[in-house]
């Protein structure tokens, strides 16, 4: 640990050693307590206390669970200060001070760590408390609470004692209490009287000694240090470790410990406790919103034994509308609280989540922090606060996470309905949102049922291009294999469709048309519900909440804020006019990737495509290509028209040809017949196309170079479509993209063919076309020789899927064999196909941009890989100076947000 001698930071009495900016050292809770207590703008009534820093936690774990010398002294000095402010003494039999001991990490880890209340209560101090409160029942109730918490948290958990019969001490003490209640015929804890509590305390202490082989400590200092140790121990509890792993919180951060004078909301009818938000966290409305309970402690509110009342009429709901509001029963205190919350929001310039306690009519502020909110609320609050001039546009765009924005874009399972349900299986969340439908196991079946108006979910081991019609007909897609960039995932994201992939917990039996998971059987036609945001699969129908972004004025205004801040342009990856239109609605400023190969899977076209592929001679190939030309032209007309006025990058044929060939025997036979050749001959040609590593074989521009006639047909279709539209007065900007280029010679070869065809078409149609010729940068070598490539290419589009595959030497299709182990062992921090690997792939990208722009300063550069929709990757793209990112239509708003955040973040640096 650093050579700092200050381990303990005091707060209270209008002063504080720390402040809100010291979260790293004091934890979130400690820093906010200091801010509330000490900042002159706030000056709130906070019960005095002190914070032991996170550095002590780190020291504790680095030094075999020992504290640094000097800590004890600093703690007792801080305790003296609390005693002075409270005019009580810790352990004083006549006038005892009680304290709470709570955790507080840099980032909130709700419920993951431990708390001990009422510390300082012993046989000796109980009489003092009785005297102070004039309430013996209250004192023994507090004592039994202390025993229950302490024996559980400090004596059992923190010592790592495993209960023999699996039943922990807390549970045992609860059973004793239930026994006493049953014996007396009581229904509620409130029925218990002072003698009952006295008896319970005695029974509890006996049981603790018997089970844990140790007496409950009767010394306040022992209790205090036991509590502190338990909080530190809970940092490395199983639950906390698991939570940190999920949330990406480093183990080294450690937790602080907050020791604070107890105040009691359970001292009768003028006492109360409550939680509130400065705005509605459910929808963002600007109203003070909260709940309270009279004569209760904080834990009672959480426990949900009594229904809390609304703090004001704005907070009334169906559940609590009959109850009195705090404003009604304690108008003065409410007014005070209302003032404080306003002060807090103005001070923090964000919606606050606050906890308060009223002890005998006196208001204490126990906690404040940034309030959690859902997506719609986050958007509304940000937009409103800009309007109120509380925050700037830049601050507003930083307030919404991409995941929150995503909530607005997809139908979601109603959170209420999902809350306590256990999924039957969990897979990879490949397409966000919720989907409800009947399980169907074939693409044809899905399409047929959908035509009858049924809602279906296609369930497959994996999907292939042959399943696309069935995928399109489905509400959602579920696969048991494949990863986040598998065919199913790519297609689903493209359509904004709910999708779960790689769910290895389900076992599909295609023949019997069913799948099993955790012993449950789902047959064709059975209803299931998918949560594609989380990857959860549920049995039955759950209700969905539908988004309506077009009518959502807050969404639209928030997007305008993003647009005003961002520099990157946002394009979309769309192969069909329908997708292009959706993307335009979401704000796409062009198409960054229109794949031409998907166009060939239509049954009407695949035949000609297959003829082309198995053609033996140039002549046959050209004949088949001539059949495809009108289809291609029609496709391009559609997409160029949908994107009128905007640029459209069309990529020439990319995948290995064998992807278009039929796999099944029957379809092969059909094809052979159609082609008028024998099955053997067809098999021979298919065999010839077989490759050991097709990803690195005859594909991309290698196709167009080997068979120039393919390129010629495709660009003829593009330019004729553009010419037709231009003659009709439609302004179009086609940009022809050559895939898989690795050298200048390759792009030059294709460039010359494309250029010649463009001239030919322009002459024929007597129009001037505005077009560009460019290339994908997806082969590592292309980035290395980008200067040479840019001498020919007018634009670069980074194909980061392939670039990642080749830079890592990872086949996306086969990564399942080792990626899970790699992530588990932290050999990879993240799946590099989801977020750009900045250290490796990123170097190549930056290198290519620098070299490309060196020879062609106005080179248009973008990204069209899956990373184009990933916020972290978008920020990287901004940083390296790309002109645009291109992503699937439903990611366009996310990209607009991430692009805006990139500007703000880069300014901070």
Closest distance to its own copies from the beta carbon of 788 (Å): 8
Query: Which residues are CB-neighbours of 380 under 8 A, at least 6 positions away?
Result: 283, 284, 285, 554
Q: What is the 3-state secondary structure (H, E, C) of 140-170?
A: HHHHHHHHHHHHHHHHHHCCCCCCCCCCCHH
Q: Which is nearer to its own copies, 649 or 740 (CB)?
A: 740
Distance between CA atoms of residues 801 and 795, nearest Å: 18
* Nearest distance in Å: CB 251, its own copies: 17
| Distance from C-alpha of 734 to C-alpha of 726, rounded to nearest angstrom | 11
**Residue (186 or 808) nearer to its own copies, CB:** 808
- Between CA 217 and CA 401 the distance in angstroms is 47
How far is residue 143's CA from residue 117's CA, in Å, rounded to a whole number?
Answer: 10
In whole angstroms, the minimum distance from the beta carbon of 803 to its own copies comes to 9
Task: Report the nearest approach of its own copies to the CB of residue 745 (Å).
Answer: 4
Q: Provide, rounded to whole angstroms, the least separation between the CB of residue 464 and its own copies.
A: 12
Q: Residue 840 Cβ, how far from its own copies at the closest point, in Å? A: 4
> Is 864 in the active site?
yes
Structure tokens at 287: 């109203």
Q: Could you tell me the two tokens for 736?
A: 């022809």
Which of 630, 829 has the CB closer to its own copies?
Answer: 829
Count Cα neighbours of 244 within 13 Å in the Cβ-side half-sphere.
Answer: 19
The CA distances from residue 724 to 636, 771, 772, in Å, are 11, 14, 18
Find, among 588, 651, 599, the residue nearest to 797 by Cα.
651
Comparing CB distances to its own copies, the nearer of 617 and 693 is 693
Contacts to its own copies by CB under 8 A: 691-698, 702, 705-706, 740, 742-743, 745-746, 749, 778-781, 784-785, 788, 802, 805-811, 813-815, 817-818, 821-822, 825-828, 837, 839-841, 843-844
The CA-based angle 600-601-602, given to 5 degrees, is 95
In the complex, least distance from residue 772 CB atom to its own copies, rounded to whole angstroms: 22
Nearer to its own copies, 273 or 463 (CB): 463
Closest contact distance (angstroms) between CB of 659 and its own copies is 11
Tell me the three state secondary structure of residue 392. Answer: coil
- Closer of 406 and 749 to its own copies (Cβ): 749
The residues with which 261 forms a beta bridge, in sequence order, are 99
Cβ count near 24 (within 10 Å): 15
Smallest distance, Å, CB 672 to its own copies? 23
Strands (E), 432-506: 434-440, 456-460, 476-479, 498-501
What are the strands, taking DSSP E only, across 151-270?
Answer: 255-261
Distance of CA 138 to the CA centre of its chain: 44
**Which lies closer to its own copies via its Cβ, residue 525 or residue 697?**
697
What six digits make up the tokens of 263? Answer: 């105040």
Distance of CA 308 to the CA centre of its chain: 31
Neighbours of 246 (CB within 10 A): 7
CB of 837 to its own copies, least distance (A): 8
> For this structure, is 598 an active site residue?
no
d(CA 483, CA 493): 13
- Give the 3-state secondary structure percentages of the chain, helix then strand then coil, rounded to 5: 50, 15, 35
Active-site entry in 410, 487, 658, 867: 487
* Interior/surface letters 851-881, b for 16+ CB within 10 angstroms, e for the rest: bbbeebeebbbbbbbbbbbbbbbbbbbbebe
The CA dihedral of 819, 820, 824, 826, to the nearest 10 degrees, is 10
Least Å distance, CB 141 to its own copies, is: 54
- Of the pair 473, 804, the CB lying nearest its own copies is at 804
Is 740 in a helix, a strand, or coil? coil
Q: How far apart are CA 171 and CA 180, in angstroms?
A: 14
Q: Are 277 and 329 in contact (CB under 8 A)?
A: no
CB of 656 to its own copies, least distance (A): 9
Q: How far apart are CA 152 and CA 30, in angstroms?
A: 24
Nearer to its own copies, 47 or 739 (CB): 739
- Are 82 and 99 a contacting pair, CB within 8 Å? yes
- Pair of tokens at residue 579: 């997708």
> How far is Cα of residue 586 from the mean position of the Cα atoms in its chain?
20
Distance CA(345)–CA(342), nearest Å, equals 5
Measured in residues, the chain has a length of 909
Between 17 and 787, name the residue whose CB sits nearer to its own copies.
787
Q: Which of 864, 867, 878, 887 is catalytic?
A: 864
- By C-beta, is 163 or 697 nearer to its own copies? 697
Nearer to its own copies, 815 or 900 (CB): 815
- The token pair that represents 277 in the structure block: 């938000």
Query: Annotated catalytic sites, by residue?
Result: 487, 864
């Amino acid at each position: 640990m650093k050579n700092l001698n200050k381990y303990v930071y005091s707060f209270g009495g209008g002063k504080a050693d720390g402040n809100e900016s010291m979260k790293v050292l004091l934890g979130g809770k400690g820093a906010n307590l200091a801010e509330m207590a000490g900042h002159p703008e706030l000056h709130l009534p906070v019960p005095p206390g002190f914070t032991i820093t996170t550095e002590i936690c780190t020291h504790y774990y680095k030094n075999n669970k020992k504290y640094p010398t000097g800590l004890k002294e600093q703690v007792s000095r801080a305790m003296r200060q609390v005693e002075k402010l409270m005019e009580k003494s810790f352990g004083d039999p006549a006038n005892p001070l009680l304290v709470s001991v709570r955790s507080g990490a840099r980032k909130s880890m709700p419920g993951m760590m431990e708390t001990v209340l009422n510390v300082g209560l012993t046989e000796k101090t109980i009489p003092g408390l009785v005297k102070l409160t004039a309430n013996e029942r209250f004192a023994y109730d507090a004592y039994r609470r202390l025993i229950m918490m302490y024996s559980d948290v400090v004596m059992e958990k923190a010592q790592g004692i495993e209960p023999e019969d699996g039943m922990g001490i807390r549970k045992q003490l609860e059973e004793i209490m239930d026994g006493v209640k049953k014996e007396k015929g009581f229904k509620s804890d409130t029925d218990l009287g002072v003698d009952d509590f006295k008896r319970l305390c005695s029974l509890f202490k006996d049981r603790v000694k018997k089970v844990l082989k140790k007496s409950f400590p009767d010394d306040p200092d022992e209790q205090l240090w036991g509590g502190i140790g338990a909080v530190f121990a809970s940092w490395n509890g199983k639950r906390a470790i698991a939570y940190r792993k999920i949330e990406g919180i480093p183990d080294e951060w450690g937790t602080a410990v907050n020791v604070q004078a107890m105040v009691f909301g359970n001292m009768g009818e003028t006492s109360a406790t409550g939680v509130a938000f400065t705005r509605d966290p459910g929808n963002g409305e600007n109203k003070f919103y909260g709940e309270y309970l009279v004569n209760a402690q904080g834990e009672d509110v959480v426990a949900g034994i009594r229904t809390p009342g609304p703090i004001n009429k704005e907070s009334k709901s169906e559940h609590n509308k009959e109850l009195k509001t705090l404003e009604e029963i304690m108008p003065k205190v409410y007014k005070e609280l209302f003032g404080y919350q306003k002060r807090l929001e103005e001070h923090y310039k964000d919606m606050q989540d606050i906890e308060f306690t009223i002890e005998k009519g006196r208001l204490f502020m126990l906690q404040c922090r940034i309030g959690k909110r859902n997506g719609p609320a986050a958007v509304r609050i940000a937009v409103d606060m800009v309007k109120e001039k509380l925050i700037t546009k830049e601050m507003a765009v930083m307030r919404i996470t991409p995941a929150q924005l995503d909530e607005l874009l997809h139908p979601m399972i109603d959170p209420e309905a999902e809350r306590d349900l256990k999924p039957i299986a969990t897979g990879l969340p490949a397409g966000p949102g919720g989907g409800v439908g009947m399980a169907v196991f074939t693409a044809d079946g899905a399409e047929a049922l959908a035509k009858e108006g049924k809602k279906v979910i296609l369930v497959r081991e994996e999907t292939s291009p042959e399943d696309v019609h069935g995928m399109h007909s489905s509400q959602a897609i579920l696969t048991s294999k494949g990863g986040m960039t598998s065919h199913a995932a790519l297609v689903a994201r493209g359509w904004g469709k709910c999708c779960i992939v790689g769910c290895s917990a389900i076992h599909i039996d295609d023949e019997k048309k069913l799948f099993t998971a955790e012993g449950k059987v789902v047959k064709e036609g059975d209803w299931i519900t998918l949560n594609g945001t989380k990857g959860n699969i549920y049995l039955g129908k759950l209700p969905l909440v539908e988004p309506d972004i077009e009518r959502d004025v807050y969404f639209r205004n928030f997007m305008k804020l993003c647009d005003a801040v961002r520099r990157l342009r946002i394009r979309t990856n769309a192969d069909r006019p329908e997708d292009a239109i959706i993307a335009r609605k979401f704000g796409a400023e062009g198409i960054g990737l229109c794949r031409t190969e998907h166009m060939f899977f239509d049954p009407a076209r695949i035949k000609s495509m297959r003829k082309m592929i198995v053609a033996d001679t140039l002549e046959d190939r050209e004949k088949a290509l001539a059949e495809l030309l009108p289809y291609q032209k029609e496709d391009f007309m559609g997409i160029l028209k949908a994107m009128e006025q905007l640029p459209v990058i069309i990529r020439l044929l990319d995948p290995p040809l064998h992807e278009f060939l039929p796999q099944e025997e029957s379809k092969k036979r059909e094809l052979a017949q159609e082609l008028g050749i024998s099955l053997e001959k067809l098999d021979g040609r298919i065999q010839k196309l077989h490759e050991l590593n097709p990803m690195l074989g005859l594909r991309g521009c290698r196709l167009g170079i080997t068979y120039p006639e393919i390129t010629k047909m495709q660009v003829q279709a593009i330019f004729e479509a553009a010419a037709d539209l231009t003659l009709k007065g439609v302004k179009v900007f086609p940009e022809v993209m050559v895939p898989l280029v690795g050298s200048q010679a390759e792009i030059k070869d294709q460039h010359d063919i494309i250029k010649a065809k463009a001239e030919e078409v322009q002459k024929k149609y007597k129009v001037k076309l505005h077009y560009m010729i460019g290339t994908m940068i997806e082969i590592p070598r292309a980035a290395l020789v980008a200067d040479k490539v840019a001498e020919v290419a007018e634009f670069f589009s980074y194909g980061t899927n392939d670039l990642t595959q080749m830079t890592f030497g990872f086949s996306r299709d086969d990564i399942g064999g080792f990626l899970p182990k790699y992530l588990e062992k932290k050999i990879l921090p993240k799946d590099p196909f989801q977020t750009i690997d900045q250290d490796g792939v990123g170097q190549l990208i930056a290198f290519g941009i620098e070299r490309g722009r060196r020879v062609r300063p106005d080179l248009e550069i973008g990204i069209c890989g899956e990373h184009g929709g990933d916020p972290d990757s978008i920020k990287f793209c901004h940083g390296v100076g790309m002109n645009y990112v291109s992503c699937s239509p439903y990611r366009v708003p996310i990209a607009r947000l991430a692009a805006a955040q990139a500007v703000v973040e880069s300014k901070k640096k």
